Chains A and B, each alone.
Chain A
């Protein structure tokens, strides 16, 4: 297989401003583990939501994929002291995963499987699109650049890097939230970066993505 590599051209510096990793047991912000007290009868993601004192009622309507992506973006944006209400025309969002919206697809299928117990609901159906997670993050943060969703069999640092470079090559875009957001088989696997271009620091590269993941 051909290795994806950039053609010779003017390279732009890209800096990782902040990153967040969420798995089934841990939340890392720039490498530091956040303390998440566990409440009874509360899901892992909602424990994260509560421990971070996030106040965004729309969270409770989201499916697991959107919740996971939303929480990572929220932790990142707070660490950068960025006001969610400030319009962000120069920010884009790119997400990738393996199972698209399969967990919600299965839930939705249960509502239509049986003709005698048929109750399709628009509020479930809308989350059978994986890119809704990018929409949720865009709405929360007034991000008005590009929002794209890609599917790969496995986490692919090469492709994450490539899509990020492509997104930031756009003259009108300066910042990017990008990452892997997966909830397949109820395994939460999120790695999200906030990137900024034309910085002095240039530390966003495939090796760094691999190390952090």
Chain B
């Protein structure tokens, strides 16, 4: 059995999970319009973390190596540091493995790189630099699987814990935005110029966001006295649509398969909510409505966190899992901000106000380029209040 020891989120809304959760619960969004940023010809609506604050906070961390760090690495180290401190584990131990999730890592170094060695643009190099900060002895695992990276990284960590000789996994996801990423999404005409509208009739695209997030997981020992209050991993699955490299299957084939496999044998009446991917592109949200209905879980409230922090790419699967952990403990189903007029093909329940629910479990869905889809499910026990 695997359970969560601690977590951290860094975003425009705060530098730890609790601050992020309470901002989101209060309906605050970190998204805004940026003009003339990154030398881009067009403005964009996104959530960017203030670099000065990152540097400020980073300079107050203990200096453990002589390395210089990129923005992505600073965010990742800040995030891991907080999660590790909350968990009380020793990150330099042999039985701890780092699993790093990102789509583009330090890709902005391709535009201009005066400070760092050439290989810094490799994802394995960033992962190495991050785990070296903590003097961890093991080769880090890097998962790069487009938008589902954060969930795929967690599932990879669970395999490492269950099948191999590790006791603790630190799963960290991070993404910083740059001209590279934003121009690409703009070329796809995938970005909305206003706050995104999940599952809405008038949804016209997604917003991008920066973030880092980490979770420390532990594999329970056979004779361990488990903590009374805990969140356990139940199951999770990755499935491909085998349909298109840059668009989902219309009827949600891969996501439906991922849901079915994940909930197989589980009493879904225990599910408090479904945290959807819901990027607010016309295709994604409609596809998800198909998958949720076909999976037979369309009686469960669905929410989207994208209007709060945007799509944080390689961080998203971890960040949204953490917000879901906190809302599960808080007995609250977070509302889907900015959803006004229902507008997806199949019938699902979009949650539009913060609602109380004492049910113990949630399922998180995620989909991305390359036809990949994933579902991951957790259950809490023992918590009285947040």
Give A contacts to B, CB under 8 Å. 1-2, 4-7, 9, 87, 89, 93, 98-100, 102, 105-106, 108-109, 112-113, 115, 118, 120-122, 125-126, 128-132, 134-136, 138-139, 141-153, 156, 159, 162, 165-166, 169, 172
8 A–B pairs (Cβ distance < 8 Å), ordered by A? A115-B41, A129-B146, A135-B371, A136-B245, A144-B242, A145-B239, A153-B128, A166-B159
Q: Does B225 sit within 8 A of A, measured CB to CB?
A: no
Do A144 and B246 have beta carbons less than 8 Å apart? Answer: no
Task: Write the B160-176 contact mask toward A (1 if CB under 8 angstroms, else 0).
Answer: 00011110000000000
Q: In whole angstroms, how far apart are the Cα atoms of A152 and B184 in the complex?
A: 25
Query: Shortest CB–CB separation between residue B315 and chain A, in angstroms?
Result: 15
Task: Write the B162-200 contact mask toward A (1 if CB under 8 angstroms, else 0).
Answer: 011110000000000001100111111000000000000
The residues of A that contact B246 with a CB separation of less than 8 Å are: 122, 126
Do B107 and A139 have beta carbons less than 8 Å apart? Answer: no
Do B122 and A134 have beta carbons less than 8 Å apart? Answer: no
Do B187 and A122 have beta carbons less than 8 Å apart? Answer: yes
CB-nearest residue of chain B relative to A66?
B245
Query: Shortest CB–CB separation between residue A29 and chain B, in angstroms?
Result: 24
Task: Write the B91-106 contact mask toward A (1 if CB under 8 angstroms, else 0).
Answer: 0001100000001110
The residues of A that contact B241 with a CB separation of less than 8 Å are: 138, 144
Do A144 and B254 have beta carbons less than 8 Å apart? Answer: yes
The residues of B that contact A169 with a CB separation of less than 8 Å are: 159, 163
The residues of A that contact B238 with a CB separation of less than 8 Å are: 146-148
Residue with the highest number of chain B CB atoms closer than 10 Å, among A89, A109, A150:
A150
Q: In whole angstroms, how far apart are the Cα atoms of A139 and B166 in the complex?
A: 35
The residues of A that contact B237 with a CB separation of less than 8 Å are: 146
Q: In whole angstroms, how far apart are the Cα atoms of A139 and B254 in the complex?
A: 12
Q: Does B299 sit within 8 A of A, measured CB to CB?
A: no
- Given the known inter-chain contacts A144-B257, A146-B238, please indicate yes or no for A132 contacting B245, CB distance below 8 A: yes
- Given the known inter-chain contacts A151-B123, A166-B159, please indicate yes or no for A2 contacting B165, CB distance below 8 A: yes
Do A151 and B144 have beta carbons less than 8 Å apart? Answer: yes
The residues of B that contact A146 with a CB separation of less than 8 Å are: 237-240
Do B179 and A112 have beta carbons less than 8 Å apart? Answer: yes
Sort chain B's interface into a size bin.
Answer: 35 or more
Do B370 and A135 have beta carbons less than 8 Å apart? Answer: yes
Q: In whole angstroms, how far apart are the Cα atoms of A113 and B111 in the complex?
A: 7
Among B103, B110, B121, B371, which residue has its beta carbon within 8 angstroms of that of A139? B371
Q: Does B143 sit within 8 A of A, measured CB to CB?
A: yes
Chain B contacts with A in 201-258, Cβ cutoff 8 A: 237-246, 253-254, 257
Query: Shortest CB–CB separation between residue B188 and chain A, in angstroms?
Result: 5
Q: Does B383 sit within 8 A of A, measured CB to CB?
A: no
Which one of B12-20, B81-89, B134-142, B289-297 contacts A? B134-142
Do B159 and A132 have beta carbons less than 8 Å apart? Answer: no
The residues of A that contact B186 with a CB separation of less than 8 Å are: 120
Do A149 and B145 have beta carbons less than 8 Å apart? Answer: yes
Do B257 and A148 have beta carbons less than 8 Å apart? Answer: no
Q: In whole angstroms, how far apart are the Cα atoms of A113 and B127 in the complex?
A: 26
The residues of B that contact A149 with a CB separation of less than 8 Å are: 143-145
Q: Does B116 sit within 8 A of A, measured CB to CB?
A: no
Do A112 and B245 have beta carbons less than 8 Å apart? Answer: no
Do B163 and A165 have beta carbons less than 8 Å apart? Answer: yes
Do B142 and A144 have beta carbons less than 8 Å apart? Answer: no
- Given the known inter-chain contacts A5-B164, A121-B187, please indicate yes or no for A144 contacting B139, CB distance below 8 A: no
Q: Does B261 sit within 8 A of A, measured CB to CB?
A: yes
Query: Shortest CB–CB separation between residue A158 and chain B, in angstroms?
Result: 9
The residues of B that contact A87 with a CB separation of less than 8 Å are: 242
The residues of A that contact B127 with a CB separation of less than 8 Å are: 151
Do B110 and A106 have beta carbons less than 8 Å apart? Answer: yes
Do B188 and A122 have beta carbons less than 8 Å apart? Answer: yes
CB-nearest residue of chain B relative to A96?
B142
Do A148 and B164 have beta carbons less than 8 Å apart? Answer: no
Q: In whole angstroms, how far apart are the Cα atoms of A136 and B187 in the complex?
A: 21
Q: In whole angstroms, how far apart are the Cα atoms of A207 and B224 in the complex?
A: 36
Q: In whole angstroms, how far apart are the Cα atoms of A87 and B240 in the complex?
A: 12
Residue with the highest number of chain A CB atoms closer than 10 Å, among B104, B127, B183, B257:
B183
The residues of B that contact A2 with a CB separation of less than 8 Å are: 94-95, 137-138, 165-166
Do A108 and B257 have beta carbons less than 8 Å apart? Answer: no
Task: Write the B32-70 contact mask toward A (1 if CB under 8 angstroms, else 0).
Answer: 000000010100000000000000000000000000000
Q: In whole angstroms, how far apart are the Cα atoms of A118 and B111 in the complex?
A: 13
Do A131 and B146 have beta carbons less than 8 Å apart? Answer: yes
Q: Does B342 sit within 8 A of A, measured CB to CB?
A: no
Do B122 and A100 have beta carbons less than 8 Å apart? Answer: yes
Task: Write the B313-341 contact mask toward A (1 if CB under 8 angstroms, else 0).
Answer: 00000000000000000000000000000
- Given the known inter-chain contacts A146-B239, A147-B371, A166-B159, please indicate yes or no for A5 contacting B165, CB distance below 8 A: yes
CB-nearest residue of chain B relative to A110?
B110
CB-nearest residue of chain B relative to A87?
B242
The residues of A that contact B372 with a CB separation of less than 8 Å are: 131, 134-135, 147
- Given the known inter-chain contacts A139-B243, A143-B240, please indicate yes or no for A151 contacting B257, CB distance below 8 A: no
Do B253 and A144 have beta carbons less than 8 Å apart? Answer: yes
Q: In whole angstroms, how far apart are the Cα atoms of A57 and B206 in the complex?
A: 31
Do B240 and A138 have beta carbons less than 8 Å apart? Answer: yes
Q: Does B124 sit within 8 A of A, measured CB to CB?
A: yes
Among B107, B111, B180, B370, which residue has its beta carbon within 8 angstroms of that of A131? B370
